[in-house]
Structure 1
């Protein structure tokens, strides 16, 4: 099984996105999805040892998901298995981004193990996405995150979904608790506006960073900024790209960030400003590789 100070444990959902086919709004294609699963694939593609811990069902979608993760190089030893179906996310892209209508109940996807006893075997633990707010997964994610905060480097991507199923406030308290536990928080400006309404995202980042965290704020085409408690913010422009797709771009950014965060063979929440700039640049390039084509699997940035 994958493990060690340079490896990452990714905990969360692997599901199927039903995405409109170009040119025919009535036709949808089944696409590998789930923010944590996308991050696991991205990390594996970038050469970072990674274990994915999710719930896999007994249907054809689950077999497709397992094959995709294994092909990328992710270890699936810690996954749970059942005969239940795979969760579905109906993607609804529009001019404001991508919304989702979720089909989550009575699925294998959110039957996650409590891995609090295993986190010390990994250099970093990543949590976030739907599994952090949908039971029964949410309780297991929180227990695992609490242990990771004590014994590993906890990385949280709240990934607040703009959906039509869960409601605008569903899970906000749970995501705020995870951010408070984290050593590293990666969040979009929209995530922070939804979790801390009335506060500017930049101010929220400063407050989170003041607690000793590395906080990375993403703004899509406007680039990204990293905040720490001891140094001025570091900003990097978005990598220019002709956008074909935005689904999975934030997950690719997270994978690129984490891959560089552990580039020395172990993980730290206190990189130097030069290392921070390198991380943001790699993450931006990784996200751009997803935006440039259909699908969610990133290409390895040049020089990585």
Structure 2
């Protein structure tokens, strides 16, 4: 089943200023939720991004970039303010360390449209769910839309913007409990729960609300967890240029395959509960069904393709074939 109602992604769109040790800085459109929206658009899904960007050069860059991949901005997303930035300093292996200049709050028109507008699926995460006052707006919106849309979440924690892990855990786990699908990196869970292995945290999350939790391990592949089992996903070999946007491409690939399979998606009436029930049934045994195995493998390929080129540049459907 492929629904024609849009997937709605809620969260920050910003510009990544990428700094190499051996070269000049470069500017690329980014922001974790915006990257997920971009990935879904390139994979053929109608997608709308509920965000906040400035009416400035960086904002115009973001708008063109998203429009070129079929992403529609929710009306009211462009405001008379500076566009947020993230500076990514790359190490010798191409891994990024971030610092941020960001303001996050949903414009009132965007908040109203998010709650009132129809959506098949809603994805959020990262700074949008952590930085006040916007984080509280996003949480309220998820409560409002969950009866009619399925939900996915990627905490994608940014410690430089956060309080201590102990102060952040309750917020993150409220969002986990609201979600049908959660993706988190090994680094995310090690930071949030320093006294618990990432595997143990992911397995516990899979029993707390979501039907599927995927733990990404970078070059070591991924692990899928559900209420009754666990499955390792082999890594995809790749020559890494940088890792910017790889986790977001993984998220987009995973959501895309689950939407196509009818295991995510909603709309008027009971469609969200139909998809939610189908995903629950699919994760109701100790074996991961082939469709979920294939969805996670597709997500891993999407992440690998993104690692093979500079910046957050997720693949198209043709590239994933």
Per the alignment, residue 98 of structure 1 pairs with 96
Kindly indicate whether the alpha-carbon contact (under 8 Å) linking 2:53 and 2:83 is maintained by their aligned counterparts in 1: yes
Residue 143 of structure 1: which of 136, 140, 145 is its match? Answer: 140
Kindly indicate whether the alpha-carbon contact (under 8 Å) linking 2:223 and 2:233 is maintained by their aligned counterparts in 1: yes
Describe how 1:1-304 pairs up with structure 2 within 5 A. Answer: 7-21=6-20, 23-24=22-23, 27-94=24-91, 97-105=95-103, 110-112=105-107, 113-115=110-112, 117-118=115-116, 121-163=118-160, 166=162, 168-169=164-165, 171-213=168-210, 214-230=212-228, 232-265=229-262, 267=264, 268=275, 269-270=279-280, 271=282, 273-300=289-316, 302=319, 304=321
Alignment coverage as a number of residue pairs = 294
User: More displaced, 252-261 or 209-218?
Assistant: 209-218
Q: Distance in 1 between matches of 2:184 and 2:221?
A: 12
TM, length-normalised to structure 1:
0.88
Q: Distance in 1 between matches of 2:195 and 2:155?
A: 18
Kindly indicate whether the alpha-carbon contact (under 8 Å) linking 1:99 and 1:162 is maintained by their aligned counterparts in 2: no
SS of the aligned residue for 1:150 comes to: coil
Q: Let me know the Cα RMSD of the aligned residues.
A: 2.3
Mind listing any 5+ residue stretches in structure 1 that lack a counterpart?
none
User: More displaced, 7-16 or 191-200?
Assistant: 191-200
User: More displaced, 90-99 or 270-279?
Assistant: 90-99
Kindly indicate whether the alpha-carbon contact (under 8 Å) linking 1:17 and 1:32 is maintained by their aligned counterparts in 2: yes
Specify whether residues 78 and 199 from structure 1 end up closer, same or farther in structure 2 by C-alpha distance, changes over 3 A only: farther
Any idea what the Cα deviations from partners look like across 1:58-110, whole Å, max 9, x if unmatched? 101001101111110012134522110001111122368422111124xxx53
Shift in Å, 1:49: 1.7
Kindly indicate whether the alpha-carbon contact (under 8 Å) linking 1:51 and 1:78 is maintained by their aligned counterparts in 2: no
TM, length-normalised to structure 2:
0.84
Specify whether residues 196 and 284 from structure 1 end up closer, same or farther in structure 2 by C-alpha distance, changes over 3 A only: same
